[in-house]
Structure 1
């Protein structure tokens, strides 16, 4: 779940010059800590001691800006023997320090070498601790009072929350592959529990929090003895305190157990605790809007692209959004419509150079960035830039689901198609939701013979067709059971019949009601996933379902066909809602089921 570190050779001299401009201060005396790395305890408002590492640059005679990382994955690792050569946290900090920045990395309470207990991801105490850390940094003699954030995944959310805090020290942030709406775009897409990812992530983080070397070795594909010979655990501030800190972690929320009791976005994770509504970064949109932001996501990484576009739609501040074809973290190429590249394009090192340049420019007093959205098109690798989403050149194309598995322009003949649900239907273990757990590229097998699908397919396309935006499936549907999950896939069928995944959407019937979910979030359906908006379902009831697919930009080549597939399960990823053998019946006809494609006419 962590990325390989960028190499110093990729850092440009121009970036170093910009960062040095940003480091100019008021001539205050340098920190008594001196250059290099220091492990210290900070004290939160309630007295909890938080473990931090501070790296200070050498040969700096004036206060400097600070790059802040707030993490729950250990701010630093205590290596044994030759393991120190692989200290990736130190490699990354050295890169930042080489740019004239101080670096502060903090273990969230209840994690790493910090004391206290965690009541859940991005909880209220953790958010308050972020503000306390900012105050601490500003008070240090080596600080010029300017703080920037750069975070990936969980740390992307903590970075977004820093920007949303309204703290005057925060000058710019880079959020990479974060979860703008952790309920709808990670834990419960379409209201269906993403048990494959969440159970694995919960077990992994629980093992980290108790420093369980043998459990962590299983996640890393090593033996317990191998891991114990290399890693002692989280880097301590004082070795005599580490066991006491780990003992307090025993009171951390059992997230897997808590999620088993969650159905709605406003359900509390624990009695007296918080809901997904409370922990989402968008809760501070107004404050965050003033902070220049570079936001990186991927069409193929969970719901990160949907989250990036939601942030774009709901926040008016200076923002650059970049959506690639990356795996989680930006390491691997994951374009399903091209032969896989060995690494992401652009490479991870280049991505970090661009991120640091963005931060350095803002610290140096450059004008706030213009609102701009850059995105790659799957199947061609071309990057485009727009200031509106979807681009002005996009128009909707409506395709009808018709008899014989046809998908075409115009109206369909009246009729119906029935899927007998196969509870073993699956998209595999390397899909967009699970690859992040393994740190692997997103890969889908040929879906031509995938089990448990009901499909509709177009004739071969006369010309290349670029789909850019949010495809929307509208189904007139009956289910034979009192609740069901509907999974819809957009696919590319080449002239040899090979069928490639493009994007997907899902919806639990309980959450089918639409309404005003707030600006930017679930923009197409207006779905809230809150308890008050739940709708019971009676078996056999005919309902109109609106299923927005995850956004994409993808070129379907001339001669290829577009396929829409329906399933009732994704075994191994999503919780089983629809019983094996239940039926989902789709009605066709002039006012029947349709696929709306956002087609881009630009060259």
Structure 2
């Protein structure tokens, strides 16, 4: 990492700026500018988030916004309505109000005296999502966006559902995370005396988002809103789409470079859920700010930077590795492709009967898939954050609980690129069932490294917008699309297809025990194979990462250590407990004197091989203290289920200056329509 000590233009910062909305609500912004921007106006870059620019994202903001200002841009970080220091309430993620506000913000930015009127928008995760969503609204001033680790399909690729199954691990955990965020107050030293009124309005409107998300179990109009895949033609701003092979949102990059009519380029590296210049594993990092500067300079300043001469898609073809929960660097090769789908990627297929070996086939040639409820405890984190325990460990334990189909040792390398697909002929013993597919790289010593995976709630086999129960005992055809990946499986290794009916806590189990029978004769694995010649070009390079000077946040004292991820089994009660500390940053002290404390713990429990014992729980403790102002927020959120309904309970207690200030309980029952 290189710290930029000298920049072409000297940045200055407007710490707290109010941006007025048409309904009178004010949104809070920090604006970094070249100090001569009033004399020499500049284009504007917008990052628009609910994650509190004054504390939570402040260290990350300091790395990039001043850097952009020093390269001739007004770089703006806005707290969304109902978050951080902004007024109003946040009703849901990606609510129409969020997009309408962004359109107003862009118009305001374009009209400022230090602005040329050209605006770009960028962000990772939520900010990447709404950059796409706002681009689809076509605000006249928005000329280009950079979207990182985002999705164009809110139902298919986010924290709610996976293959049409309820994503138990993050449906609960992310709703609980946002519940804790929604309850936090604005900062009195920035907002002034009105801070308490703004906070009271925020607390009065508080409701866990999971109540909304779980009421929409099929891909209905709720999920279509904000999913730009519904109409790619609605986007005319230029799109740079970026993803990481260790991040779950990587499908989006391939879909965007294929589907958008607007100018588009894609980059997929080995990264986790982070900007590609941030030194969180796996690496290698790239000079991402410089890469985006080329994009902005071309589309917002009209400079000839060569970005449109770059390949349509630059991907990092990863080498095979032994299983580990963290890699400092993933070895591999950057490859440039001029189209997607690419003629350099051909299909390879393996029939599960004739081209693989299995110990699961019975005398009738069929294979039964019937796995224990705790299968999935070695899945790793849904969106790896670059922490030591995020990635899946050796899959041999999970493989032992699954039904396996192995290729013979490969006689040549297979360079998997794209979305593998498993076409299955199967029958179910029950009306509802899930199927989980893992693709593994099995070394000669037997170690099993997860390549990628995919799931299908078989009630959604005919479409994610509907629910069709299975007729027990009746054969059906189903196709499971696995998450996109680039992976070299070397000669001498085997490719393993591992099937399971359970994957806790990723897939919330249906209400009863189920088993599937697979017909291997009519089932096949299909993967894209990148031509070996593409790996020899080695013509894709990036600069060394560069950032602005760090903010100067110091770590606060830890409250004791605990594992980031721990699996416990109690044989007496036949109970499996997975605990996860998401480790978003812990305690820290900011240069303005704010002492910030944060502790979160996710707990996933299942007992007695009984799907109805599944419980997901998430607790948060957040402390904010500065001078004589002291806020403590404690939340506890749980999801359980019967055969017919989910039960969602949440509790929040807020203390202000040592006194109990706000307490509320939430208890909701939601019918299980298809999950």
Pick closer, same or farther for the CA change 1:48–1:482 going to 2, 3 Å: same
Alignment of 1:570 with 2:503, yes or no, is: yes
Please name the residue that 1:391 is paired with. Answer: 342
- TM superposition shift of 1:43: 2.1
Alignment of 1:238 with 2:238, yes or no, is: no
CA offset digits 1:436-471 (Å, max 9, x no partner): 4x8567411111232421001011111111112221
Aligned equivalents of 1:87, 1:599: Cα separation in 2: 41
Aligned equivalents of 2:347, 2:237: Cα separation in 1: 34
Aligned equivalents of 1:404, 1:594: Cα separation in 2: 9
Alignment of 1:454 with 2:392, yes or no, is: no
Structure number with the bigger relative contact order (C-alpha 8 A, sep ≥ 6) is: 1
Aligned equivalents of 2:345, 2:511: Cα separation in 1: 36
The secondary structure found in structure 2 opposite 1:305 is: helix
Query: Which of 228, 236, 250 in structure 2 is aligned with 1:281?
Result: 228
CA offset digits 1:467-520 (Å, max 9, x no partner): 12221111111111110110001111001000110011110011001xxxxxxx
The secondary structure found in structure 1 opposite 2:219 is: coil
Query: Which of 82, 89, 105 in structure 1 is aligned with 2:77?
Result: 105
Aligned equivalents of 1:550, 1:195: Cα separation in 2: 18
Please name the residue that 1:584 is paired with. Answer: 516
Aligned equivalents of 2:413, 2:282: Cα separation in 1: 24
- Is the 8 Å Cα contact of residues 247 and 383 (structure 2) preserved in structure 1? no
- TM superposition shift of 1:166: 1.3
Pick closer, same or farther for the CA change 1:53–1:185 going to 2, 3 Å: same
Query: Which of 118, 121, 141 in structure 1 is aligned with 2:93?
Result: 121
Alignment of 1:375 with 2:331, yes or no, is: no
Pick closer, same or farther for the CA change 1:195–1:45 going to 2, 3 Å: farther
1:493-532 correspondence to structure 2 within 5 Å:
493-513=442-462, 527=463, 529-531=464-466
Please name the residue that 1:490 is paired with. Answer: 439
Aligned equivalents of 2:261, 2:368: Cα separation in 1: 45
Please name the residue that 2:412 is paired with. Answer: 463
Please name the residue that 2:164 is paired with. Answer: 191
Aligned equivalents of 1:100, 1:403: Cα separation in 2: 61
Pick closer, same or farther for the CA change 1:469–1:88 going to 2, 3 Å: closer
- TM superposition shift of 1:255: 0.9
CA offset digits 1:230-286 (Å, max 9, x no partner): xxx65864221222222222314521122222211116xxxxxxx010122345632
In the TM superposition, structure 1's runs of 4+ consecutive aligned residues that sit over 6 Å from their partners are: none
CA offset digits 1:48-75 (Å, max 9, x no partner): 2222222222134221111111111112
- Is the 8 Å Cα contact of residues 327 and 440 (structure 1) preserved in structure 2? no
Pick closer, same or farther for the CA change 1:237–1:173 going to 2, 3 Å: same
Query: Which of 244, 247, 258 in structure 2 is aligned with 1:313?
Result: 258
Please name the residue that 1:443 is paired with. Answer: 391
Pick closer, same or farther for the CA change 1:561–1:248 going to 2, 3 Å: same
Aligned equivalents of 1:403, 1:332: Cα separation in 2: 45
Query: Which of 4, 22, 35 in structure 2 is aligned with 1:45?
Result: 22
Pick closer, same or farther for the CA change 1:601–1:369 going to 2, 3 Å: closer
The secondary structure found in structure 1 opposite 2:435 is: strand
Q: TM-score, normalised by structure 2?
A: 0.71
Pick closer, same or farther for the CA change 1:143–1:253 going to 2, 3 Å: farther
Aligned equivalents of 2:281, 2:484: Cα separation in 1: 23
Aligned equivalents of 1:363, 1:404: Cα separation in 2: 53
Runs of 5+ consecutive residues of structure 1 not aligned to the other structure: 1-5, 24-33, 80-85, 213-232, 268-274, 334-340, 514-526
Pick closer, same or farther for the CA change 1:93–1:598 going to 2, 3 Å: closer
Deviates more, 1:184-193 or 1:487-496: 184-193
- Is the 8 Å Cα contact of residues 272 and 383 (structure 2) preserved in structure 1? no
Please name the residue that 1:360 is paired with. Answer: 297
- TM superposition shift of 1:319: 0.9
- Is the 8 Å Cα contact of residues 50 and 79 (structure 2) preserved in structure 1? yes
Q: Aligned residues, how many?
A: 513
Bigger share in helix: 1
Pick closer, same or farther for the CA change 1:401–1:95 going to 2, 3 Å: same
Aligned equivalents of 1:378, 1:507: Cα separation in 2: 26
User: What's the RMSD between the two structures over aligned residues?
Assistant: 2.9
Pick closer, same or farther for the CA change 1:204–1:429 going to 2, 3 Å: farther
Aligned equivalents of 2:477, 2:194: Cα separation in 1: 59
Pick closer, same or farther for the CA change 1:571–1:539 going to 2, 3 Å: same
Aligned equivalents of 2:50, 2:230: Cα separation in 1: 21
- TM superposition shift of 1:207: 1.1
- TM superposition shift of 1:145: 0.6
Pick closer, same or farther for the CA change 1:211–1:376 going to 2, 3 Å: same
Please name the residue that 2:469 is paired with. Answer: 536
- Is the 8 Å Cα contact of residues 429 and 435 (structure 1) preserved in structure 2? no
Aligned equivalents of 2:476, 2:133: Cα separation in 1: 39
- Is the 8 Å Cα contact of residues 421 and 482 (structure 2) preserved in structure 1? yes
Deviates more, 1:369-378 or 1:67-76: 369-378
The secondary structure found in structure 2 opposite 1:56 is: strand
Q: TM-score, normalised by structure 1?
A: 0.79
Query: Which of 38, 42, 45 in structure 2 is aligned with 1:64?
Result: 42
1:246-325 correspondence to structure 2 within 5 Å:
246-250=199-203, 251-266=205-220, 275-283=222-230, 285-288=232-235, 290-302=236-248, 304-325=249-270
Please name the residue that 1:29 is paired with. Answer: none
Alignment of 1:9 with 2:11, yes or no, is: no
- Is the 8 Å Cα contact of residues 151 and 175 (structure 1) preserved in structure 2? yes
Runs of 5+ consecutive residues of structure 2 not aligned to the other structure: 320-330, 534-675
Bigger share in strand: 2
Deviates more, 1:593-602 or 1:549-558: 593-602
- Is the 8 Å Cα contact of residues 353 and 520 (structure 2) preserved in structure 1? yes
Query: Which of 148, 151, 176 in structure 2 is aligned with 1:179?
Result: 151
Deviates more, 1:34-43 or 1:146-155: 34-43
The secondary structure found in structure 1 opposite 2:51 is: coil
CA offset digits 1:104-156 (Å, max 9, x no partner): 22111121122222221111111100111111112211111111112111001
Please name the residue that 2:108 is paired with. Answer: 136
